[in-house]
């Protein structure tokens, strides 16, 4: 099976812009989670989707949003970008119904906000 794919791999934006990142999970996986990784805060849980519904959300402002499509592909959107949004954004899919089960990560999208 193909692994988790994320597009784009690299992105440069300026403050105030918005960005949309895409994630295609492993075929058959219905749970998709998103994480933000920064040197200062480490890996932080953004949200998790299962069957097109957001089940869980981490402690991030409303500028961070996401959605999941019927084919389990997911997108996350960040509006009104701030310099502190520069990070590696990781998507993970899981075959089970719980975020606590084994997660399979994509290579990440590295976002730089100038």
Partner 1 sequence: SQQGEEDPQALSIQEGENATMNCSYKTSINNLQWYRQNSGRGLVHLILIRSNEREKHSGRLRVTLDTSKKSSSLLITASRAADTASYFCGWNYGQNFVFGPGTRLSVLP
Report in angstroms how near the CB of residue 100 gets to partner 1 at its nearest.
4
Report in angstroms how near the CB of residue 11 gets to partner 1 at its nearest.
15
Distances from the Cα of 105 to the Cα of 32, 84, 91, 92, 93, angstroms:
10, 23, 6, 4, 7
CB closer to partner 1, 13 vs 55:
55
Structure-token pair, residue 109: 């999208």
Contacts with partner 1, residue ranges (CB under 8 A): 4, 33, 35, 42-43, 45, 48, 55-56, 58, 88, 90, 92, 98-108, 110
Report in angstroms how near the CB of residue 40 gets to partner 1 at its nearest.
10
Dihedral angle sign, alpha carbons of residues 27, 57, 88, 11: positive
């Amino acid at each position: 099976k193909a692994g988790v794919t994320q597009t784009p791999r690299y992105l440069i934006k300026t403050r105030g812009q918005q960005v949309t990142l895409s994630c295609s999970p492993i075929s058959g996986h219905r749970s998709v989670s998103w994480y933000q990784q920064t040197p200062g805060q480490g890996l932080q849980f953004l949200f998790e989707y299962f069957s097109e519904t957001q089940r869980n959300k981490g402690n991030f402002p409303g500028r961070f949003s996401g959605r999941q499509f019927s084919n389990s592909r997911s997108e996350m959107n960040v509006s009104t970008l701030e310099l502190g949004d520069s990070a590696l954004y990781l998507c993970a899919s899981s075959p089970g119904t719980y975020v606590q089960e084994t997660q399979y990560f994509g290579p990440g999208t590295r976002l730089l906000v100038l």
